[in-house]
Structures are given as structure tokens and as C-alpha cells.
Amino acid sequence: MVHRHEPPVTAQALEFLEENDEIVVINKPSSLPVHPCGRYRHNSVIFILGKEHNLKELHTIHRLDRLTSGVLIFAKSIEVSKRMDEQLRRRQLEKEYVCRVVGEFPEDEVICEEPILVVSYKVGLCRVDPKGKTCKTVFQRLSYNGKTSVVKCFPYTGRTHQIRVHLQFLGYPIVNDPLYNTDIWGPDKGKGGNIGKTDTELLQALVKEHFSKESLSMLDIVEEDLKTIIGDKVPETLRNCAMSAKVTPGNVNSGHNEESENEGSSAALVCSQNSVPVEQTHRTENGEIYSGEHQDVVDPLCDECRIIRPDPSPNDLVMYLHALRYKGAEFEYCSKMPAWAHEDWKET
């Protein structure tokens, strides 16, 4: 048996924008997935709404990427869900997002209608390609501070990562986008669709880059998928820390641990990229675990775990893309503008 911990998420509470007999509308924090998926189970919007607010059997009207914050709507009954789905199908739902991008975005309205193709469903990686699905996004600049621009986005279709991919294609990627604002896309970072890599090379480069930066948790994949992406050349660090994560069935704690009955090849990929091999860890007199000369915080819910993971900073869990407003024939829900979208905002 092996056990593993869910990746860290923000401690920001769910903000309720509306709740009545038909719907629940929240302002979703960044870093939380909508549904339990991959390595996320307890740390998901659906789980938190059910456990902490007794809101169960909700129907998702639309979805937001894990790193995207903002307006998120749930229906309380299948009848309401069907009614709102019909508005989506007829494109009667107006969606408005806000983001902060690299560089000076044009002052005039920009329309991007480049088709988008999914490179990997496991990672959720996409790119512009003539063989992709039709898309349309309208962009309007709100402000520019000399380095970055705040831009409103109006997606008329709902493709995966549509806003992020279109902004990358235009040459103005979201400032802290871990997928579409990296050097793996080439010197122009994918501007104009100029990539210079095959899809396989692109995917492998992305995974290896995030491993080297100890940021694999930014990619929405489970560790078992790593080997299928980067082949047999799994970094030795992952193999070492996997051995330290093995426990006996009697030692597996409840709570935030996820159990797996599979060992063998998949067991070599069970720990976080931030883990420290067990032979490099030590215990203090009161039983706390630390690595080398620097003491780290150990998960208090897991007495058996001997893996150390440093806590990320709040900025590491936020991407500057926010669902600001959703409007239908019978409703309109808005959230406040996030702090990073204010004109006088300064990056810390």
C-alpha cells in the first residue's frame, strides 16, 4: 500500500454571491478544482460545499479551470440545470473575464478567432491549430502600468483554456500562467503559433520544466501519468522519494490521504516533487521531522508520513485570470474585481 497527500490549495474561503431555492453562486478561489479529480478530492469546490455547507447533489452549470477564480454557478435541481444548459447551448449566456497579461495590450478592441486543438487531455494542454475547434474571444484593454496590462475578455465559445491560448497566440500571455507563459514554447513563447516542437516534444518539455522548478503540482496530472508522458527516463529523485512514501495498510491514516492498492511501477511515482528522501530527513526531540539544517513544517494530520513538502506562498497558488460576470436571460451574477486587476496594483 502507498499513500499520498493532496497538493496544497489556498486557505481562502468560498464567498457566496447568491443562494436560493434554485441555484448556488460562489466566487471560487484560485487553485481549487470544481470537482474531485486527479490528486484533488477533499480540496475541491463540490466536496467543500457538501461537507462544510451541506449543499449536496448540485449540478454544475459551467466550469472554471483550477487556477481560474471567479463566478461559479450550480443548480439545485435537474430542472433548473436543463433550463440554464439550454441558454448555454443557444449561446444566450454572456461571460466576462478579467486578466493581467505581459506587455502593452492594444488599446483598440481585439478579436481572436483562431481554432484550438487539445494537445493532451491529461495535462489539459492546448494550442492554436487549423485542425482545432472554432473559437471566438473579444478582448478590451482596461489599463497598462508600464509592464503589464489588465484586459477584459469576452469568450463567445467555451473551449478548454480558450482565453489563455488566444492571449498566448496574440503575444500577450497571462503574467503567471504556468502552461502558456513558459520558454518551452520557444523564444516567442508561442506567439503567432510559432512553436517549433511536435506535440510530444512540447508535452515532455513542459513536464520536465515543472519538475526542475519543483512545481509539478501546477500541472493537473497524477504521478502515475508522468511515465507515460516522459517515458522511462523518470528522474531518480522521484524514485527515491517514492520509496519513502510506502506504508503498511495498518499505518494509513484517514483524512487527507488517498490510498492506492497499486505498487510496482506506479509506486515509483507516488510522492510530490517537493519531497525529500527519507535518508535525508531527521527528527527533533519532540518528534518533528526536518531536512538538513532547515526545519520544515510536517503535516500534523499524518503521523506516518516521512516526506517534507515546503508550503507554497499565496502567490504560487494564484493565476491572474478571473470570471467576473455571468449573465443569462433571467439572471446576472458579478464578483468584485480581484486585487491584482486594480489599476494601482503593485506586484509583491
SS3 of the chain: CEEEECCCCCCCCCEEEEECCCEEEEEECCCCCCCCECCECCCCHHHHHHHHHCCCCCEECCCCCCCCEEEEEEECCHHHHHHHHHHHHCCCCEEEEEEEEECCCCCCCEEECCCEEEEECCCCEEEECCCCECCCEEEEEEEECCCEEEEEEEECCCCCCHHHHHHHHHCCCECCCCCCCCHHHCCCCCHHHCCCCCHHHHHHHHHHHHHHCCCHHHCCCCHHHHHHHHCCCCCHHHHHHHHHCECCHHHCCCCCEEEECCCCCHHHHCCCCCCCCHHHEEECCCCCEEECCECCCCCCCCCCCCCCCCCCCHHHHCCCEEEEEEECCCCEEECCCCHHHCCCCCCC
* Catalytic residue (one of 65, 177, 220, 225): 65
Active site (annotated) includes residue 65: yes
Report, as residue numbers or ranges, the catalytic residues.
Answer: 65
